């Protein structure tokens, strides 16, 4: 009879210990495990957010610079048009140099 009761009791004790042990360690241990896994992800996300913020600031600055450059080019094109008109009117010979192909459509 003890040959049957001892293994059965050991099995029951094993089941109880297996059931209770993970639960007793589970909350704090799982929280620590979760934090250990989550901490690098948080750091990486913080780094990515910082990089995105810097890139957004750089994009704004680049966009403003581009707008200023386009305005300058428009002013220069108008000035070249005025100079060419002045030269053609007041200096009949020799003719002004040909307009480069790259800017021919602009002038």
pLDDT tens digits, residue range 61-79?
999 999 999 999 999 999 9
pLDDT at 104: 82
pLDDT at 19: 58
Widest pairwise Cα distance in the chain: 129
Rounded to two decimals, what is the model's pTM? Answer: 0.53
pLDDT at 77: 92
Q: Report the C-alpha gap between 46 and 97 in whole angstroms.
A: 58
Q: SS3 for 43?
A: helix
Candidates 88, 104, 78; CA nearest to 96 is 88
Can you give the residue ranges of every domain in the chain?
A: 2-103
pLDDT tens figures, 21-56: 555 567 888 888 888 889 999 999 999 999 999 999
Residue with the larger pLDDT of the pair 15 and 41:
41
pLDDT at 57: 98
pLDDT at 68: 97
Residue with the larger pLDDT of the pair 103 and 8:
103
| Six token digits for residue 10 | 């050991």
Q: SS3 for 104?
A: coil
Q: SS3 for 98?
A: coil
Give every CB contact of residue 106 below 8 A, 6+ residues apart in sequence. Answer: 77
Average pLDDT of the chain is 83
Residue 86 burial by Cβ neighbours in a 10 Å radius (0-12, 13-18, 19+): exposed
pLDDT at 48: 96
């Amino acid at each position: 009879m003890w040959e049957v009761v001892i293994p059965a009791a050991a099995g029951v004790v094993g089941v109880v210990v297996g059931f209770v042990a993970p639960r007793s360690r589970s909350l704090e241990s799982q929280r620590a495990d979760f934090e250990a896994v989550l901490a690098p992800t948080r750091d990486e996300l913080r780094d990515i957010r910082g990089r995105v913020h810097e890139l957004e600031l750089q994009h704004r600055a680049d966009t403003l610079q581009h707008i200023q450059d386009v305005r300058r080019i428009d002013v220069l094109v108008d000035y070249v048009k005025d100079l060419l008109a002045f030269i053609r009117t007041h200096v009949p010979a020799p003719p002004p140099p040909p307009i480069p192909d790259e800017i021919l459509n602009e002038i």
